[in-house]
Structure 1
């Protein structure tokens, strides 16, 4: 069942991961969370970049609320921790992820989008955190991810008022990095994926893994981690080969 709701295809080192529940605006079921977690726990070695997209008109309307009913507080806590672990797995898998955002990007759908390292918003995209209307709170890590982008003050206002941001506003705020016309998101994502895939895998790994951790460190610790990263990156054989090729071209 989960394989039907999450479609995965690969071509030329780029994986296309498609949320495939359009009749429900791609609301995430427990099986869909788990399938995403399984894939990013052990992505195929041939994959250098992944694109996350969705079938139908909407990216994702969040978690399936029908699965939130009749749970005690401890069960809810464990479910939240499990989803946080899955989203961390997506963000830190070492595979750069480009998300194509369109239509509804709501609640848990926005939380999922924020695990992507590059986000492309089509003109139809709209962003909202509607949890408070249902008596809910964020539970997949966006108090950290979105809090870093918006700051706690703006995020609180977004949650309290259930404010909707359109695609243009989202790009301005940093919820998305690129704004494109309707139906142009996948083409832009492919273009970006080709550029990202041309980097060394070691550089991509450190960009996706070191930067967010350095952001949460004290300045001195972050600078030390930066030095460790550059030292390890430059010891990579592929990096050394590329540097030698670059220097040889300059000498000619």
Structure 2
């Protein structure tokens, strides 16, 4: 099902497949280079996702997830305008990171610059074996502006990010998996299918459990240990006493009892 309530853009397709939201970058002739219109749509979708969505898949048409930022929009900006568009990107990608439902990215081909910044805001990243990752901004005389300095550094560490940005080199899929840039490796040519299967799987979790996994873990990671443990106790108390958790646990014990008979 297509959604007409979101901004009308031929560059971003927003659909519902059963209870999964599917957001497709649809600019294959430009290798899905990200422009202001595209990131605006992404931000507005995640600001108010349809209530029926239980997970979201972000994918792309064509051979590449995204070859980076559409630099043609940025050749004549003032410093103030650059800060404004960077802040706009930060708000949009933060809305992805703050999503109450799991966000999964299916990555193939080039995942460069702004494309990697969008992917790093997702909760789970699936990578095709032929995918390539790169942050070339330093080689172009500029700096990242869509959140990589925060999100990618938290995924792989400041020292690895520094090396990637200084060299602008391509990181292959095997290295991306080994350093934590991506979590799951797909079979060749099946990254979108496998990412969708995962989205369907996690969509069957209790919504409150998913919400706590996504949001509480992110907060706990920023807390001192004692505060983190206290927050963990609160999350456990809220989830384990919910009506859905009680129903699921009763169903589990009933099934276990049946096997014993």
TM-score (norm: length of structure 2): 0.92
- Alpha-carbon separation, structure 2, partners of 1:16 and 1:124: 23
Matching residue of 2:161: 155
- Alpha-carbon separation, structure 1, partners of 2:32 and 2:81: 24
Matching residue of 1:130: 136
Matching residue of 1:201: 207
Gap runs ≥5 in structure 1: none
- Alpha-carbon separation, structure 2, partners of 1:182 and 1:23: 22
- Once the two structures are TM-superposed, the CA of residue 57 in structure 1 deviates from its matched residue by 0.5
Matching residue of 1:116: 122
Matching residue of 1:176: 182
- Alpha-carbon separation, structure 1, partners of 2:195 and 2:66: 17
Deviations 1:196-237 (A, max 9, x none): 011011111111111122111111111111111111112322
The reply to whether residue 214 of structure 1 matches residue 220 of structure 2 is yes
The reply to whether residue 76 of structure 1 matches residue 82 of structure 2 is yes
Matching residue of 2:9: 3
3-state SS of the aligned residue for 1:3?
Answer: coil
Matching residue of 2:233: 227
TM-score (norm: length of structure 1): 0.95
- Alpha-carbon separation, structure 2, partners of 1:21 and 1:76: 23
Contact 1:96/1:208 (8 A) holds in 2: yes
The reply to whether residue 186 of structure 1 matches residue 192 of structure 2 is yes
Matching residue of 1:26: 32
Deviations 1:69-105 (A, max 9, x none): 2222222122211211110101112121111101110
3-state SS of the aligned residue for 1:155?
Answer: helix
3-state SS of the aligned residue for 1:63?
Answer: coil
- Once the two structures are TM-superposed, the CA of residue 15 in structure 1 deviates from its matched residue by 1.6
Gap runs ≥5 in structure 2: 1-6
1:94-109 equivalences in 2 (<5 Å): 94-109=100-115
- Alpha-carbon separation, structure 1, partners of 2:201 and 2:227: 31
Q: 2:52 aligns with which of 46, 49, 64?
A: 46
Matching residue of 1:166: 172
Count residues with an aligned counterpart: 252
Contact 2:139/2:167 (8 A) holds in 1: no
- Once the two structures are TM-superposed, the CA of residue 2 in structure 1 deviates from its matched residue by 5.0
Q: Which runs of 4+ in 1 moved over 4 A?
A: none
